[in-house]
Amino acid sequence: MKNGVLPICKPEGISSARVVKFVKKFSCAKKAGHMGTLDPFATGLLLCGINKGTRISRFLLNSSKRYKAKICLGVETDTYDVTGTVLKKSDGLHNLSNDKIFETVNSFQGKQSQIPPAFSALKHKGKPLYEYARRGQSITKPARDIEIFEILIEKIEVPFVHIDVFCSKGTYIRTIAHDIGKKLGCGAHLASLIRTETSGFTLDKAVELDDLGKMEHSAIMDKIIPLADALSFLPSQSVDTKLENKIKFGQKIGLDDGLLPCDDFLRIITNTGELAAIVEYDKNHGDFKYSCVFLN
């Protein structure tokens, strides 16, 4: 059975967990799991780990992401998005100029602190924040450091503003929408969201979920990105059979084995191109620590 990552185009109105169930069923995988959830109303790129692919999720979750978002000005909701209850409406949109909107949106580029929304999956005492929020208990988590590498306005059709956002992990786009509305003084919420890139994967290479059930099993297997390729952003080094056997049995490996030190995680690739392990260099001891081993 193939191991790797299957990029899926998630449709609107379905949870990420539900997508994983479909993926597991149609791929006949023993294990499957998503790598970075999308809210049910959001669409776009959802990475699903297949079998041993579930073990590399932590390396993919830490990457930057790109989204296309539609912000609705003048309407504020409790969830900061289109699924929430309307809290306030503004009649002052006619006073907003395109220049003011451009200036405000552009001001969000760069490093900043962001307070996670009360309606989120972050945990408090073992329970998601949204469970407290639905009972009327608003739990405020500490602000987190994020970075907006790029934020571009694609189109303004008041009350809607269409933006493209390239951001660090942990960024809530609906919080950005809410904060833009707050800064403009009219309120706003996130009307729609599409994830277009994450971890080196792009939406144009993703499989439509509706098509998955119509595909032959072999065709689905062809769409699964092998482990070694899924982590192509990490440095790599190929090893011979002797070192491959040491890794297989969890033996100590170091510079004497011909491995080169690096500041990042290192992919160990077999002579057949498969991912043998992910290791991390320990400067203090001059050897490599195993993070994941994939050889049977």
Is 127 in the same domain as 180? Answer: yes
pLDDT confidence of residue 179: 96
Residues 190 and 208 in one domain: no
Show the CA angle centred on residue 145, arms to residues 20 and 120, nearest 5°. 40
pLDDT of residue 221: 96
The verdict on 59 and 70 lying in the same domain is: no
Question: Which domain-ending residue is among 188, 210, 229?
Answer: 229
| Full domain range(s) for residue 215 | 4-63+200-229
Task: Identify whether residues 27 and 131 lie together within a single domain.
Answer: no
Same domain, yes or no: 75 and 186: yes
Same domain, 205 and 59: yes
Q: What is the pLDDT of residues 88-107, one digit of tens each?
A: 999 889 889 999 999 999 99
DSSP assignment of the chain, as one string? ---EEEEEEEPTT--HHHHHHHHHHHHT-S-EEESS---TT-EEEEEEEEGGGGGGHHHHHTS-EEEEEEEEETEEETTSBTTS-EEEE-S-GGG--HHHHHHHHHTT-EEEEEPPPSSSS-EETTEEHHHHHHTT--PPPPPEEEEEEEEEEEEEETTEEEEEEEE-TT--HHHHHHHHHHHHTS-EEEEEEEEEEETTEEGGGSEEHHHHTTS-HHHHHHHSEEHHHHTTTS-EEE--HHHHHHHHTT--EEGGGTPPP-SSEEEEE-TTS-EEEEEEEETTTTEEEEEEE---
Same domain for 55 and 80:
no
Residue at a domain's end among 229, 244, 277: 229
How far apart are the C-alpha atoms of 120 and 130, rounded to whole Å? 5
Domain CATH for 86:
3.30.2350.10
Same domain, 225 and 270: no
* CATH number of the domain to which 252 belongs: 2.30.130.10
The pLDDT value given to residue 120: 63
245 and 205 inside one domain: no
39 is catalytic: yes
The verdict on 83 and 158 lying in the same domain is: yes
The rounded distance, in Å, linking the Cα atoms of 99 and 28 is: 53
Both 281 and 169 in a single domain? no
Considering the domain architecture, whether residues 136 and 254 belong to the same structural domain is answered as no
**Token duo for residue 138:** 């608003």
Residues of the chain with pLDDT under 70: 118-133, 135-137, 139-141
Say how many domains are in the chain: 3
Task: Kindly name the residue from 39, 145, 210, 264 that is annotated as catalytic.
Answer: 39
